[in-house]
Amino acid sequence: MTRLSFLLSGFFVIAITVAPSTFAVEPDEMLADAALEERARVISQDLRCVVCQNENIDESNAVLAQDMRRLVRQRVLAGDTNQEVLDYMVERYGDFVLLRPRMTPETYLLWFGPALVLIAGAVVTVRTLRRASQRTLSTSPQNLSADERSRLDHLVSDRASGDEP
Amino acid sequence: MTDIATKPARSKWAALVPVAIVAVLLGIFAKRLADVEGGNDPSLIPTVLLNTPVPDIDLPPLPDRPPGLKTDDLSGEVSLVNIWGSWCVACLSEHPLLMRLAEDNAVPIHGIAWRDEPNASVRWLARHGDPYALIGQDPVSEAAIAFGVTGAPETFVVDANGLIRYKHIGPISEQAWESTIAPLIEELRTQ
């Protein structure tokens, strides 16, 4: 019983980890050539559905996405490279249709912004920590009253003379 | 001692930094909201086809309504290309305006019956009126994708040289016609 449930849960884990992510491609849309179909799938995952906007056309059930998938497969069959198919869509819909933004001067901030923020954060952190440690070092002895200072001197000299229990 | 005395003054300004960040963010949010209210919806995809020739199309006609619509039909004079379908509810709301423009001979309006069943298109036109000069069928979005269409209705202003000069997303309102499209057509005719 336990072994059975163990096996079943094992199957379940395998099923959910190796199962393909959901996609909307209908069997009759697929190309007969598996290699070309695989390329079409890869291209489709980089193209935004212009109706639903946050889905790629490989996942979207919108009819326009379906027609865009059909067009991608037509272009692949006609011998276009992946880049040529993407360019074809960009010519019509602009960079917006790409889910992976291109590296252009307009998108430098998008690509490098997070790194800049990380560096700025590191600089601020280092400076703050350094200043804090300097402050502890430089201010703590000065804050002692005359009485405290004499006690401290006393303790330090006791220890220095090797008078330990 | 001086070191300690100057610290609070610095941190007082530092404390304002998060406030400033929040203020800037609120400003951005407010502007975005105002944009959407004002009809400048950022989710509308701007066309990259402005000032480029209309794409190559050669669309078949609706039953008993020859000819279809092809690229060559879209040069020679300023015209509108309207993407519609009998399934498209929003198209109905701009339809009276298109009918009036057709009656006034304001500008030739060509239709692309997008992803529609041909007989459904014909029935819809019989019922609501037919403002179109030429109509082509686009059953698998061939023309729609070539024009970079994202939904219906969309309307393109095409100049006499066959260049796309404007794209209107959504139904054409009286206001959009009066303030934007009609003046643009006048201007393009004088060029």
pLDDT band at A96 (very low <50, low <70, confident <90, very high): confident
pLDDT range class, residue A21, cuts 50, 70, 90: low
Q: How far is B146 from chain A (nearest CA, A)?
A: 6
- Asked if the Cβ–Cβ distance from A139 to B145 is below 8 Å, we say no
Residue A147 binned pLDDT confidence (cut-offs 50, 70, 90): confident
Residue B20, pLDDT score: 94
Q: Compute the nearest-CA separation of B140 from chain A (Å).
A: 6
Separation between Cα atoms, residue A61 and residue A39, nearest integer Å: 20
Lowest mean pLDDT among A41-45, A51-55, B115-119: A51-55
Which of A52-66, A102-116, B32-46, B64-78 has the lowest average pLDDT? B32-46
At B19 the pLDDT is 93
At A115 the pLDDT is 95
Q: Select the residue from B7, B44, B150 to test the A interface by mutation, using most A Cβ atoms within 10 A.
A: B150
Task: Please give the pLDDT value at position B45.
Answer: 66
Residues 6+ apart with CB under 8 A from A101: A95, A107, A110, A111
pLDDT at residue number B5: 46
pLDDT of residue A158: 73
Residue B122 in tokens = 């014909």
Whether the predicted pLDDT of A149 surpasses 80? yes
How does residue A139 score in pLDDT terms, banded at 50, 70 and 90?
low
- Name the token pair of B186: 């006048």
**Residue of A87, A96, A100, A42 lying closest to A69 (CA atoms):** A42
Is residue B47 less than 8 Å (CB to CB) from chain A? yes
Which of B117, B145, B147, B169 would you mutate first to test chain A, the one with the most A CBs within 10 A? B145
Interchain contact, B145 vs A68, CB within 8 Å: yes
Torsion of CA B63, B67, B68, B70, to 10 degrees: 170
* pLDDT given at position A140: 59
| Burial track B146-162 (b if 16+ CB lie within 10 A, e otherwise) | bbbbbbbbbbbbbbeeb
**The tokens 């003046």 sit on which residue?**
B183
HSE-CB of A96 using CA atoms within 13 angstroms: 19
Q: Please state, rounded to an integer, the average pLDDT across all residues of chain A.
A: 83
Give the pLDDT of residue A161: 60
Cis peptide bond prior to B153, omega within 30° of 0: yes
Does the distance separating the beta carbons of A139 and B43 come in below 8 Å?
no
Closest residue by Cα to residue B84 from B179, B155, B9, B12: B155
Residues of chain B with pLDDT below 50 are: 1-6
Task: Give B167's strand partners.
Answer: B156
Q: Do A94 and B145 touch (CB under 8 A)?
A: no
Selecting from A51, A70, A93 the residue whose C-beta is nearest the C-beta of B140 gives A70
At residue A132, the pLDDT reads 86
